[in-house]
Amino acid sequence: MRKEFSKRPKAFKENWPGEFTLFSWEDFLTAIPTPIFVATSYKANGKENACLQSWSTFVGDDKGLICVMAAVNRNGHFYKTLKESGVCVLNFPSANIYDKCSATVTNNNYEDNEITKSGLTAEASVTINAPRIKECFLNLECELLWDRPLYENSGHSTLALRTKHITMDSNYYDESINGRYGKTGIIYNIHSPRNADTGECMGDKLGVLEIL
C-alpha cells in the first residue's frame, strides 16, 4: 500500500530533545544511505582536525571528480578550517576501523590532534597542506570550489570540493582481493530508519554495497 506524507507521522517521537530540529523527520522516513568518510584538515593552531561526514555525493567530468557535501555545520571546526585553508582530505575507512573514525566525534577539542588521539595515523598529503589518515584505503586530496548556505539563514552549508590527488590501496581497486564494495569496502550511513505506522526506530546502522 502506497502512503502519502506531507507532515511528520504521528508515531514519530524524538529519541532526544531537538532531534527533529537538527535532522528532518523525512530523513528517518526515507533513510537513504550515503557513503561515510572522514574529512581532515589542519586547524589554525597546526593541530589535526577530523570530521566524520556523510550526506554527500560524488560526480565527475573532464574537469575532475567533484564531491558535493550537502550539509556542513557552519559552526564546526571543519567548516572553519576549510574556509581558512581552502583544502581538505576525504578519507574512506572500511568497517574494521569505523570505531576509531567515530571516536573523532568526541576527540574534537581545539587543542586535540583529532586523528592521532582517536588511534589513527596522520600522514602528509602529496598536493595540499592537510593530513591524511594512513589506515583509510582511499584518500581524496581536495580543494574548495564553492560554499553556499543550504537555504537562507541555514546553520549548514553546501560545499563543492574538487579532487586534486587520489591515493588508493591496490587491494581495494582489485575486486578479486578486497575490492571497493562488500564488507571490506566503502561503508554507508543508514540514518536511524523508522516505521511510519508504529514509530519503531532501528537506530543508526552501517551498511555496505552488494554488487548484483
**Residue-wise pLDDT tens digits, 166-195:** 999 999 999 999 999 999 999 999 999 999
Domain 33-208 fold is: Pnp Oxidase; Chain A (2.30.110)
Position 48 scores a pLDDT of 97
Q: How far is the C-alpha of 34 from the C-alpha of 28, rounded, in Å?
A: 13
- C-beta of residue 42 within 8 angstroms of C-beta of residue 131: yes
Position 17 scores a pLDDT of 96
- pLDDT tens digit string along 88-124? 999 999 999 999 999 999 998 999 999 999 999 999 9
- C-beta of residue 156 within 8 angstroms of C-beta of residue 67: no
CB atoms within 10 A of CB 171: 12
pTM to 2 decimals?
0.94
CA 47 to chain centre: 20
Which residues lie below 8 Å from residue 27, measured CB to CB, with a gap of 6+?
Answer: 191, 192
- C-beta of residue 143 within 8 angstroms of C-beta of residue 161: yes
